[in-house]
Amino acid sequence: MMAKKPTSTDSPSASLPCGTRCHHRVPLGVQGEVYRILPDTGYCDSAVELAQHADLLIAECAFRPGEENEHWPHLNPETAAKLALDAQAKRLVLVHFDAFRYPDMESRSGAALVARQSFSPVSAAFDNQIIEM
């Protein structure tokens, strides 16, 4: 079944601190499902707004557990899970792992375990993965 093309009235949007207006509704999958992608972001109200009620939230996880940097905002497993929880998402997939912080799938799976302490279900994506819904 082909998803309908989103319109300006059904596409959620938010203004980021830099003033950019973002629209993030991905018209894929079964009609009525909501997929949200949050690459290269830190935790903020706009990210929560964009992720609101997602059936599938794909969020970056560049930082290791507990790591933060206010001058280079990215998510760690805990903040990705908090974002998913606060947005009332149904499922979280972590992506965009920093290669130096997460050199292998074992370390990426470890990030998913940390995130799973406060949100479930969550998984760590791997190259060429097909996500079943």
In the chain, which residues have pLDDT < 50? 1-11, 15-27
pTM of the full structure: 0.78
8 A C-beta contact, residue 28 and residue 133: no
Sign of CA dihedral 76, 123, 133, 121: negative
8 A C-beta contact, residue 22 and residue 14: yes
- The share of the chain scoring above pLDDT 90, in percent, equals 62
Domains of the chain with CATH codes = 32-124 (3.60.15.10)
Residue 95 vs residues 30, 31, 61, 79, 119: alpha-carbon distances, Å: 22, 24, 6, 13, 16
> Can you give the pLDDT at residue 39?
86
In the chain, the amino acid numbered 125 is A
The pLDDT tens digits for 63-76 are: 999 999 988 889 99
8 A C-beta contact, residue 119 and residue 78: no
Residue 79 CA to residue 83 CA, distance in Å, equals 6
> Can you give the pLDDT at residue 2?
40
Q: What is the DSSP letter of 46?
A: H
